[in-house]
Structure 1
Amino acid sequence: MTLILFTFPGQGSQRAGMLHALPDETIVRQTLDEASVALGRNVLELDTDAALASTVAVQVCLLVAGVAGARLIESMSGAPDMVAGLSIGAYPAAVTAGILSLRDAVGLVARRGALMEQAFPHGYGMMAISGLNQRAVERVLAEVHGPDMPVYLANLNAEQQMVIAGRDDALARAGALAIERGARAADRIRVPVPSHCELLDDAAADLTRAFEGVTLKHPRLTYLSSSMARAMFDPDKIGADLAANMAHQVRWHETMRLAWERGARLAVEMPTGNVLTRLSADIFEDSVAVSVSDTRPDSIQALIERARAMAE
């Protein structure tokens, strides 16, 4: 069976002009307008270099770009069979799956970004470590982590690509140790808060309360949680997972393995960027992984049509 997977990237993939770079199509413009009404301001004002210094602007832009990209491809080729999002990418995935309305998602994502920004306005962030496996990175963190040097394993993106989160000096020390232990690279990423660790437990609890007045629906397609690395179908449990995901590890590699095991053979990454496409290369090496940012919509349409024809 050949199934279609839409993936949605997380914070760090943002770039200036990302909303303006979306295809000039009616459904994209309608999505931008819908999001602007929900936010109470024009979302096209949020993708400048200056605006993207704000975690709120970054996360809203990633939500809107992801939903717009998914709606465009869906209007051309039909709905995907499953969706998965990394961190903030879980929200456009939930909108695409019909769990959340875009209006509600805009409000929740703006709140999410504000809570994260307020909790850690400076002095913290995240770092990608490439070339070491999970156990090796955990050994490094055990040598650095302490009450005054908090640092945590945040993302398990690939077998040898981990992301850590914590205080700036702890990240610097852990990165230097990782290089000494054989890592190819230890690079800060454009996330100015310590996501996906217990430092955001309080913020996650606050966001959980914000979900109480939100209507959640059963997914119309398979929704994969990258925090749980499993398919989820109960709307209340999905809502709890979305609210808490800022404080939970991202198990992206396991989630992509799950997608493969459930039949995904074409992975289409929504805007912006191609990070998830590159991360999934080892799992989808015998199939196809492409990004909307790098591939023309009509070419993606052709790939989806071919994949569906092969499944018949």
Structure 2
Amino acid sequence: MSVLFTFPGQGAQKPGMLHALPSHEETARTLEEAAAALGADPLGLDTPDALRSTVAVQLCLLIAGVATARHLAALDARPAMVAGLSIGAWPAAVAAGVLAFPDVIRLVAFRARSMEEAYPSGHGMTAVTGLAATELEPLVARVRAAGEPVYLANLNGPRQLVIAGSDAGMAHVAALVHAGGAGAKAERLAVAVPSHCELLARQADELAAAVAAVPLCRPRITYISSSVARALFDPAAIGADLARNMARQVQWHDTLRHAWERGARLAVEMPSGSVLTKLTQPVFDGGVAVSCDGASIGDIATLIRAAGE
């Protein structure tokens, strides 16, 4: 069976997540490369105080994803496909061989700073469960028409959605969701910027110019975009996809379906957390979805190798 590596987005971060990476030469190499690119020790990024910053969050998820994929590769446990949600697309691209890790460290730092500087406070993202997109979209449109910037940002599952926008706009949508009486819930996420909507269009344009200045290679394995829910093979197309995903809706459910249709039957979620694994399990009915959190890297590698036999 084919193996898919999934890389999580913001909200999956945890204090100490870089310190919790298993000791291995590939982990050490990844941390050393990150330190050289940043000019600072990346192990200072995963404290509770540091993780209040979008920059620290995105860099932690990038570093953890790359280090874990490299560690697994050293154990002869490699994927046939990769897909990442939001910032997770960047370590996915490194794992696919599209971009060099030092370049990605600098690009992600630029990405996160531009998002944080544009929206230092008063904005973010809220998860909405229990409603279909066709039910949530009119509520979002109603609030936006009243002057509050709020958008449908992530389609993570048939009834697992995320909105992005101003605090007031999200609170208004949440009130409408809870007033509907259908058991739907709205919960603010640990994300401080309004990702995956037009509020970040200018920042995406600026990042696209920065991406165009670095070398990109054809992927060695299949790279699946969660913005368009299909595989991309042209390096320039992948670069544009990476740069602009911050301002584009996430089609995560359809991305998983595309991976399944391409033959993926084992999905392995990189650190941190298990949210993507829970979203994958209903799609991979008859397959297997596991998270690196809570399992030894050796056991995960054994499972991946067995899948490839």
TM-score normalised by L of structure 2: 0.98
Are residues 183 and 169 of structure 1, via their aligned partners in 2, closer, same or farther at CA, if it must alter by over 3 Å? farther
Post-superposition CA distance 1:3-33 (Å, at most 9, x none): 0000000001001101001001111111111
Distance, in Å, in 2 between the alignment partners of 1:105 and 1:183 is: 42
Distance, in Å, in 2 between the alignment partners of 1:128 and 1:26 is: 37
Q: Deviation at 1:305?
A: 2.3
Post-superposition CA distance 1:168-195 (Å, at most 9, x none): 0110110111122224321000111100
**Structure 2 contact 77–305 (Cα < 8 Å) conserved:** no
Please state if 1:8 is matched with 2:7: yes
| Unmatched 5+ stretches in structure 2 | none
**Structure 2 contact 77–301 (Cα < 8 Å) conserved:** no
Length, aligned pairs only: 308
Give the aligned partner of residue 124 of structure 1: 123
Post-superposition CA distance 1:234-291 (Å, at most 9, x none): 0001101100000000000000000000000000000111110011110113111011
Distance, in Å, in 2 between the alignment partners of 1:136 and 1:184 is: 11
Give the aligned partner of residue 247 of structure 2: 247
**Structure 1 contact 9–272 (Cα < 8 Å) conserved:** yes
Give the aligned partner of residue 208 of structure 1: 208
Give the aligned partner of residue 218 of structure 2: 218
Q: Deviation at 1:294?
A: 1.9
Q: Deviation at 1:78?
A: 3.4
Counterpart residue identity of residue 132, structure 1:
L
Counterpart residue identity of residue 215, structure 1:
P
Q: How does 1:281-296 map to 2 (within 5 A)?
A: 281-296=281-296
- Aligned to 1:295, what secondary structure does the other structure show? coil
Distance, in Å, in 2 between the alignment partners of 1:153 and 1:94 is: 25
Distance, in Å, in 2 between the alignment partners of 1:9 and 1:138 is: 24
Q: How does 1:3-152 map to 2 (within 5 A)?
A: 3-146=2-145, 148-152=147-151
Give the aligned partner of residue 194 of structure 1: 194
Q: Deviation at 1:304?
A: 1.4
- Aligned to 1:282, what secondary structure does the other structure show? coil
Distance, in Å, in 2 between the alignment partners of 1:183 and 1:248 is: 28
Distance, in Å, in 1 between the alignment partners of 2:32 and 2:297 is: 21
Distance, in Å, in 2 between the alignment partners of 1:285 and 1:234 is: 31
Counterpart residue identity of residue 46, structure 1:
L
- Aligned to 1:127, what secondary structure does the other structure show? strand
- Aligned to 1:28, what secondary structure does the other structure show? helix
Kindly report structure 1 stretches of 4+ aligned residues shifted beyond 6 Å. Answer: none
Q: Deviation at 1:213?
A: 1.4
Please state if 1:299 is matched with 2:299: yes
Distance, in Å, in 2 between the alignment partners of 1:18 and 1:168 is: 28
Alignment identity in percent?
Answer: 54
Counterpart residue identity of residue 80, structure 1:
P
**Structure 1 contact 144–151 (Cα < 8 Å) conserved:** yes
- Aligned to 2:43, what secondary structure does the other structure show? helix
